[in-house]
Amino acid sequence: MEHYFTNNENLKSEIRDINFSFGAYNFLFKSDNGVFSKDKIDYASLFLVKTFLNNKKCVNSILDIGCGYGFIGITLSKILQVHVDMSDINKRAVHLTEMNIKENQVDAKVMESNIYENITAKYDLIITNPPIRAGKEVLKEFIYGGLAKLNKDGEIWFVLSKDKGAKSMKKELDNVGTCTLVAKSKGFWVISLKNS
């Protein structure tokens, strides 16, 4: 079975536009077959962005890991006027994000990376809607691996479905760092984590 994180070069390309407005900001995202939430902005990703902006901390560097076509990172870069790095294992997602950085004229960079493999910098914020379908080990690497990539006082923010790991992950992370359940909506939890 094909997943949105599988690199399938034979999958027919059918690029489409997703128009998205956030307050006074208008975005255009190019999307395609073979990437996550190809036809519309994902509800959980939007909830994560809104929740972060409502609880805004001052951040000078951001990593959006598992960026897909770049919705989270590009939106935050535009609104916060901050440089954002983005990464994904899916080549098509990386290519779309390159196009979307140009299209939306934001200060951002995207790289191909399996989890944190090619990530050398450290960040004030790592933000992600992680790929739960990739399995628990990948999910854990997204979160635990991020702790070593944070600047002092940096935080990881992520969204998970309560029934697909959020509850158990929150419990586990309470022993790892300072973990906060920031907001809940429609069964999704936004959680923040920092080194204690």
Ligand X SMILES: C[S@@+](CC[C@H](N)C(=O)[O-])C[C@H]1O[C@@H](n2cnc3c(N)ncnc32)[C@H](O)[C@@H]1O
For binding to ligand X (CB under 6 A), which residues are involved?
4-5, 36-37, 42, 45, 66-68, 71-72, 88-90, 93, 113-115, 129, 131, 134, 138
CB 37 within 8 A of CB 114: no
| Least separation in angstroms between CB 65 and ligand X | 6
| Residue number, 34 or 154, with CB nearest to ligand X | 34
| Least separation in angstroms between CB 43 and ligand X | 10
| Least separation in angstroms between CB 69 and ligand X | 7
Residue facing ligand X at closest CB distance: 66
| Least separation in angstroms between CB 35 and ligand X | 6
Paired with 183 in beta bridges are: 190
| Residue number, 178 or 187, with CB nearest to ligand X | 187
| Least separation in angstroms between CB 19 and ligand X | 15
| Residue number, 189 or 196, with CB nearest to ligand X | 189
Structural tokens at position 75 = 């939106």
Q: What single string gives the DSSP state of each residue in 96-117?
A: HHHHHHHHHT-SEEEEE-STTT
Residue 50: is it exposed, middle or buried by C-beta count within 10 angstroms (0-12/13-18/19+)? middle
How far apart, in Å, are the Cα atoms of 153 and each of 57, 83, 147, 150? 11, 18, 11, 8
Describe the strand order of the beta sheet including 150-161 as a list of residue ranges: 108-112, 84-88, 62-65, 123-128, 150-161, 188-194, 178-185
| Residue number, 96 or 193, with CB nearest to ligand X | 96
| Residue number, 146 or 154, with CB nearest to ligand X | 146
